[in-house]
Structure 1
Amino acid sequence: MKIYLVGGAIRNKILGLPVKDRDWVVVGSNTKFFIKNKYKQVGKKFPVFLHPHTHEEYALARTEKKNGFGYKGFKVNYSSDITLKEDLYRRDITINAIAKDKNGKYFDPFNGLKDIKKCILKHISSSFSDDPLRVFRVARFAALLFHLGFSIYKDTLCLMSSDYIKNEIKYLEKERIWQETEKAFRTKNPNIYFKVLFKCNLIEIIFPEIYCLLNLNKKLYFLNKKYFFRQNIFKSLSYISKFTNKVDIKISFFIQMFFLNIYFCIPNNSKFLFFDFFLKYINNFFVRINVPNKIKNLSIIFVKNINFLINIHNKSSKEIVLLFKKINAWRNPDIVEKLSILIDFYIDFLNIFYKNFFNNDISSGKYLKNVFKISRSISFKSINKNIKNGIEIQKKINKLKELAIDNWRYFLNKKIYKNKL
């Protein structure tokens, strides 16, 4: 029996990236070894075990033979005579098919080390097409390693673009699509993930709602279609990814930029109708690939209230308090923090194209956080204990919140005026 470190831990170590998980493959053994040594079995389709102390994953060497549809349509063989090379052969790309023994010696039958040096993402064999999930993984690795100069091998791109893959993708579970997409959003360049899928002509199949929104450029007037798609949309996702790694903020920003670019290119008499149309498609997108409600709700709240947030300096205190009530900020204060980040990123991004078009003495995001902090300081304790009616209590609290915001605004404007003198 021999045990080898495999996959991502080796790749990341060589590239100088953080090693989060270490996976091991066991050659020449069977399940009795793991049971005897008190490993915990977690794999259902094939045996994967957790080490009793390190909790790292150990799997028996195995082969996979296609016998159905999708990424589940495989017959697995994990007998003790499976070799290390056979196990590595079933993997997706060469840089993930490197093993290392306990003495630090590499086993690299498919030249993964060479491809790391060449910064190439390359499939191991034509059986790459058998698992449609690999398309998402390669697109994600292209995003993850883009800053290191990695690109996808031309023949691998051809396989990813094949009709066979397009048919296989239809059998993928929506949870798996979301998992890979979420991982892509956690990278420094999630825009590359979508660019790869777009280049492989897979957006229409994988994300039909996004394809529909992009396809509107055939019906609307744009000065330059490529500029609309590649520069505004992808550039905005690249921009925000430089400043935050939060998936919900990145997705909300991405969705809002779709709305912005299309909204300002449609006739005024159709803008209201487009708003409902857009929300419907985006909601369908979130539901279809099983995006968590926390992310979905932030995106929709941001789209619905973007104009209010931009102009929050000019909104009445009463309108601001009503906004906090509408977005349930009292019970979920994190929503205000995230909206403040989003609105400031949004305005900063627009100012790249429209120099200082939005130019306030205090940013909209900071303004939002300040008025929320002030209004939140008003509670049940602030009102007369003799008031018993629930509706009257709420009216009184809201009125006190409005007064508190009015007072803060008065002193803020006075301070700003004084500084300008």
Structure 2
Amino acid sequence: MKVYLVGGAVRDQLLNLPVKERDWVVVGSSPDELLQKKFRQVGRDFPVFLHPETNEEYALARTERKSAPGYYGFSCDFSKQVTLEEDLARRDLTINAIATDEQGQLIDPYNGQQDLKDRVLRHVSPAFVEDPVRVLRVARFAARFHYLGFKLAEETRSLMYTMVKRGELTHLVAERVWQEWQQSLEEKNPEQFIWTLRSCGALGVILPEIEALFGVPNPYRYHHEVDSGIHSLLVLQAAVALTNDPIVRFAALVHDLGKALSPMDNWPSHHGHEERGVTIIQSLCTRLRIPNDYRNLAVMVSRFHLNIHRLFELQAVSIVKILEQSDAFRRSSLFYNMLIACQADAEGCGKTVNYHQSKLWGYLLTECAKVNTKAIVAQGYEGETIKQVLHQRRVACVELILNSWKANEK
């Protein structure tokens, strides 16, 4: 029995990056032998075991053969005769198909080290086309390593295009699509996930809601980048600079989905795209089973982003109405995250902006929240009247702040 460190741990060591977790391959062993050594089996479809002391994953070396369409259409051989080279051959990219033995010697049968040096994402073998998840994984690695200068090999892009044309991506399950997309949102360049999928024709299959934005024009006076798809990716990049929170980044990316449904006769105007976007976001989140915390913020940003931008044009009563409709007084953290996404939207318009709206909206919320409901009750108000008086006092609070701000501006 021989044990090898494989995959991401070896790759990240060679890139001088922190190693977050280590995976091992066991050659020349069997499930019974590992169980006797007190390993705990966790894999159902193929033998994966947890080390009794380190809790790290150890998998028996295996080969995979395509036996049916889709993600699960594989038959596996994990007998003792499977070699390390055969196990590495089934991996997606050459940079992930490098191993080290117990003495620290590198085993690199598919030239992964050279591709690391050349900053290339390249498939290991033609068998790449057998697993549709690999298209998503390559896009995620593009998002992860773009800042290091990694590019996708054209022959790999060609294989991904072939997979799209064959319809392999229609077999992807919603949970896996979201898993890879969500992980990409945590990377330094999540926009590369979208660009990579689009470059091989996969975006229209996997995320048609985003693909539909490309080619939809924006008014030049607001958007120097003009194209709605490009704008959305610029907004995502701006969000990356503002926050590490993938929930905010997601909301920033999808805030303009409603523009894809704007009547072409009205282009480049997109009146009403906010509520149209809410409908699309709800459908997208249901289809991919995206968690509610992502859904809730994305819906809020889509619905309110134009009014957030137009703060200095609004009357006090409208401002309070927005604060109340967005539930800002009860869910202030959600509101503040919306402000971050809206700032990203403003900064993703192809021009430099000073987004004073964010600070002032935050101040208005803080001051309006100080209006004391208990004091209103103590003054003898009852029932619906309490709500009305609370609203009126919040409006008065906002008017006072706006008058002070306008005086300072003069």
- Quick one: distance in 2 between partners of 1:93 and 1:304? 41
Question: Which residue in 2 is equivalent to 1:404?
Answer: 397
> Superposition pairs for residues 374-393 of structure 1, below 5 Å?
374-385=367-378, 387=380, 389-393=382-386
Any conservation in 2 of the 1:222–1:228 contact (CA below 8 Å)?
Answer: no
Give 3-state SS (helix, strand or coil) of 1:59's partner: strand
Distance in 1 separating the partners of 2:127 and 2:322: 54
The residue type equivalent to 2:366 in the other structure is K
Match of 2:366 in 1: 373
Letter in 2 for 1:333: S
Task: Verify the 8 A CA contact 1:222 1:265 in the aligned structure 2.
Answer: no
1:379 deviates by 4.1
Instruction: Give 1:247 deviation, angstroms.
Output: 1.7
Aligned residue type for 1:3: V
- What TM-score do you get using the length of structure 1 for normalisation? 0.86
Cα 1:389–1:55 shift into 2, 3 Å: farther
Equivalent residue number for residue 255 of structure 1: 254
Contact 1:251 1:299 in 2 (8 A): yes
Task: Give aligned pairs, total.
Answer: 409
8 Å Cα contact 2:212/2:260 also seen in 1: no
Map residues 95-174 of structure 1 onto 2, 5 A cutoff: 95-163=95-163, 166-174=166-174
Q: Which residue of 1 aligns with 2:315?
A: 316
Q: What does 1:4-403 align with in structure 2 at a 5 Å threshold?
A: 4-163=4-163, 166-214=166-214, 216=216, 228=227, 231-257=230-256, 267=266, 271-272=270-271, 277-350=276-349, 352-353=350-351, 363-385=356-378, 387=380, 389-403=382-396
> Is 1:9–1:19's contact at 8 Å kept on the other side of the alignment?
yes
Residues 166, 202 of structure 1: 8 Å contact kept:
no
Post-superposition CA distance 1:197-247 (Å, at most 9, x none): 111112222122223333556xx9999xx9626743433333332333222
The separation in 1 between residues aligned to 2:398 and 2:228, in whole angstroms, is 41
Identity, in percent, stands at 32
Alpha carbons of 1:346 and 1:392: their partners in 2 closer, same or farther (altered >3 Å)? same
Are the aligned partners of 2:277 and 2:303 in contact in 1 as well (CA < 8 Å)? no
CA distance in 1, matches of 2:315, 2:3: 67
Which letter does structure 1 place at the counterpart of 2:369? R
Paired residues of 1:7 and 1:98 also in contact (CA < 8 A): yes
Q: Residue type matched to 2:247 in 1? A: D
Matches of 2:44 and 2:370, distance apart in 1: 52
Range with greater deviation from structure 2 (404-413 or 301-310): 404-413
- What letter corresponds to residue 189 of structure 2 in structure 1? N
Return the letter of the residue paired with 1:380. Answer: T
Gaps of at least 5 residues in structure 1 are: none
Deviates more, 1:206-215 or 1:43-52: 206-215
Indicate the RMSD between aligned Cα atoms, in angstroms: 3.2
Contact 1:221-1:265 within 8 A present in 2 as well: no
Contact 2:62 2:79 (8 Å CA) reproduced? yes
CA separation in 2, counterparts of 1:167 and 1:77? 26
**Inter-partner Cα distance in structure 2 for 1:80 and 1:126:** 25
Range with bigger deviation, 109-118 or 250-259: 250-259
Cα offset, 1:413, TM superposition: 4.5
The 3-state SS of whatever aligns with 1:213 is coil
Question: SS of the counterpart of 2:371?
Answer: coil
User: Where in structure 2 are there 5+ consecutive unaligned residues?
Assistant: none
Closer, same or farther: CA 392–221 of 1 in aligned 2, 3 Å: closer
Counterpart of 2:374, as a letter, is K
Distance 2:119 2:268 in 1: 50
| One-letter amino acid of the structure 1 residue matched with residue 48 of structure 2 | V
